[in-house]
């Protein structure tokens, strides 16, 4: 007698496979930038995987700054109060689905349409999550922003949570606690010639070092490291303007022999690890990243310098799911996947906790 799988278990098996596919497709997971501890760019909070609820509230704290006591001076009564703020991530649901035409069509296909549907759904869900990371980190709330191909990418900008925006006053001034513009006169004066340079990377790194409250760097191999995400057009300008790009690239290769976060990195410069990603947000000329914010003088590319806990993802017991459902007297079958969770950019006393935005133009358009 042949051993067969139990039909009721097949969706569960497929769900596990799809969840693995989603994780494998995530850039942040592949680069070891996401995890449950605080030494990650994206921190996972999974309290709702164990209990019911529609939001996760967690604390953010600043570092100590007191002078302490000397010698045998009394410490009692001189203790320092830790500054802390509560942050909340609200959860929502997102689903994607496909329906196959029918048994006859599936029989005629030269490939396994069921496996293909699962694969396409896994890719779409991972793309959605990845896009949400960048949208939230960049403080985008406008729902009509277009990428360089003219495709709207921010329609779900306010899904689960509306991220804290970059203050319009900072964009107008060209600088702020968590902001830097390549044009010192501000985002509304940005031109295509205001491109990404090594000098801007140095300046934004210094801004992170001197930030208050402190943007804490990642601890990698005993080193303090920030990660800067760049759009491909920003990378093109940076390479063209840099006279020692090969040295910058080699420095990353030396450090990254045994650490995934360096895998595929563009380079390493002045304590900043450079990564390229096409989801780095873009804003069209005369448009804004958030309604009511400063309109960009030219097409703007928002690079993101990230430290610890730049973003938070709330997981639930239904964080990833896969459903297989028959229709039309079992002649057709549909598949759906999605997540119940939330993604947000934490703020400490109204300032982004772990990210600085850097807006530039680009000449290679």
**Contact 181/330 with Cβ under 8 angstroms?**
no
Backbone φ/ψ region at 77: left (φ over 0), alpha (ψ -120 to 50), beta: left
* 151 domain-assigned: no
In which domain, by residue range, is 268 found?
164-311+348-360
Question: Is residue 337 in some structural domain?
Answer: no
- Residue 271 has a pLDDT of 92
* Whole-number pLDDT of residue 325: 83
The pTM (predicted TM-score) of the whole model is 0.86
- Report the half-sphere exposure of 254 (CA within 13 A, side-chain side): 8
Residue 282, Cβ neighbours under 10 Å: how many? 24
pLDDT for 326: 82
The tally of domains found in the chain comes to 1
Angle value at C-alpha 132, between 190 and 357, nearest 5 degrees: 30
Q: What is the reported pLDDT for 6?
A: 41
pLDDT at 303: 98
Is 219 inside any structural domain? yes
pLDDT at 165: 97
Digitized pLDDT (tens) for each residue of the chain, 365 residues in all: 444 444 444 555 555 666 667 777 889 988 999 999 989 999 998 876 666 666 767 555 555 555 665 555 564 555 545 455 567 888 899 999 888 776 655 554 544 667 788 888 888 999 999 999 999 999 999 999 999 999 999 999 999 999 999 999 999 999 999 999 999 999 999 999 999 999 999 999 999 999 988 899 999 888 899 999 999 999 999 998 877 788 888 887 777 667 888 888 999 999 999 999 999 999 999 999 999 999 999 999 999 999 999 999 988 776 677 787 888 778 888 888 888 889 999 998 889 999 999 999 998 66
Q: Is residue 152 part of a domain?
A: no
Inside any domain, residue 38: no
**Domain annotation covers residue 224:** yes
For residue 15, the model assigns a pLDDT of 58
- Give domain status of residue 181, yes or no: yes
Residue 133 lies in a domain: no
């Amino acid at each position: 007698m042949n051993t067969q799988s139990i039909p009721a278990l097949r969706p569960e098996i497929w769900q596990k496979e799809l969840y693995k596919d989603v994780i494998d497709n995530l850039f942040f997971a592949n680069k070891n930038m996401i995890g449950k501890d605080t030494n990650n760019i994206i921190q996972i909070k999974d309290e709702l995987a164990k209990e019911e609820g529609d939001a996760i509230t967690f604390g953010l704290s600043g570092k100590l700054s007191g002078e302490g006591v000397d010698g045998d001076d009394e410490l009692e009564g001189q203790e320092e109060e830790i500054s802390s703020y509560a942050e909340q991530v609200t959860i929502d649901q997102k689903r994607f689905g496909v329906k196959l035409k029918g048994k006859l069509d599936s029989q005629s296909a030269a490939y396994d349409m069921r496996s293909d549907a699962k694969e396409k759904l896994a890719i779409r869900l991972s793309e959605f999550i990845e896009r949400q990371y960048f949208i939230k980190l960049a403080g985008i709330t406008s729902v009509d922003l277009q990428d360089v191909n003219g495709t709207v990418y921010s329609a779900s900008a306010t899904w689960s949570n509306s991220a804290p925006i970059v203050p319009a006053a900072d964009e107008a001034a060209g600088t702020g606690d968590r902001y830097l513009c390549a044009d010192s006169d501000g985002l509304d004066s940005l031109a295509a010639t205001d491109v990404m340079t090594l000098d801007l990377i140095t300046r934004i790194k210094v801004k992170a070092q001197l930030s208050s409250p402190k943007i804490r760097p990642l601890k990698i191999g005993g080193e303090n490291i920030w990660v800067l995400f760049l759009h491909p057009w920003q990378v093109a300008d940076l390479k063209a303007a840099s006279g020692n790009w090969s040295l910058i690239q080699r420095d990353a290769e030396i450090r990254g022999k045994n650490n995934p976060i360096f895998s595929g990195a563009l380079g390493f410069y002045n304590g900043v690890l450079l990564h390229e990603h096409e989801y780095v947000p873009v804003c069209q000329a005369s448009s804004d990243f958030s309604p009511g914010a400063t309109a960009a003088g030219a097409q703007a590319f928002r690079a993101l310098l990230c430290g610890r806990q730049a973003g938070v993802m709330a997981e639930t017991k239904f964080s990833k799911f896969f459903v297989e459902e028959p229709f039309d007297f079992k002649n057709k079958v549909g598949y759906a996947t999605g997540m119940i969770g939330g993604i947000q950019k934490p703020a400490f006393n109204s300032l982004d906790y772990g990210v600085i935005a850097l807006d530039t133009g680009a000449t290679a358009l």
